[in-house]
Amino acid sequence: MPIQQDETMTNPVYSQASASIRACTECIIACQTCAAECLQEEMVGMMRECIRRCLDCVELCRLCISYEIRGSALLDNVMALCAQACERCAEECGSHEDQHCQHCAKACEQCAEICRASEMPID
């Protein structure tokens, strides 16, 4: 399920954003959607870990965007942590057959890959 383009995605500022900001934004949308859908599941208890990992991913993606926008010296550390959260979320979501989980897993994999590629070696 491709992410629908809305005003955020077609905004000129967004279109000029770095690949990592775009990937994090798409990951936030996918993870929030996945968590919300999981909360609607009849057996919501079975989806707790999926929800937790989605929420971790959302928070770290937001932090990554914030640190990149303001040019924080800690960006590489945050990107590494964000990539780790995305990988963990992709692993969990990928284990579920639900379409929203599969879409989330793909968005998380892409975000992790871009964050890892953007990292600079930490001294």
Please state, for a pLDDT cut of 90, what percent of the chain lies above it: 76
Summarised one tens digit per residue, pLDDT across range 92-106 is: 999 999 999 999 999
Domains and CATH numbers, the chain: 11-118 (1.20.1270.360)
Q: How confident is the model at residue 1 (pLDDT cuts 50, 70, 90)?
A: very low
Q: How far is CA 43 from the centre of its chain?
A: 24
- If you average pLDDT over every residue of the chain, what do you get? 88
Close Cβ partners of 8 (under 8 Å, ≥ 6 residues apart):
14, 25
Residue 72: predicted pLDDT:
93
pLDDT band, very low/low/confident/very high, at 58 (cuts 50, 70, 90): very high
pLDDT digit string, tens, across residues 36-47: 999 999 999 999
Nearest to 94 by CA among 85, 86, 102: 102
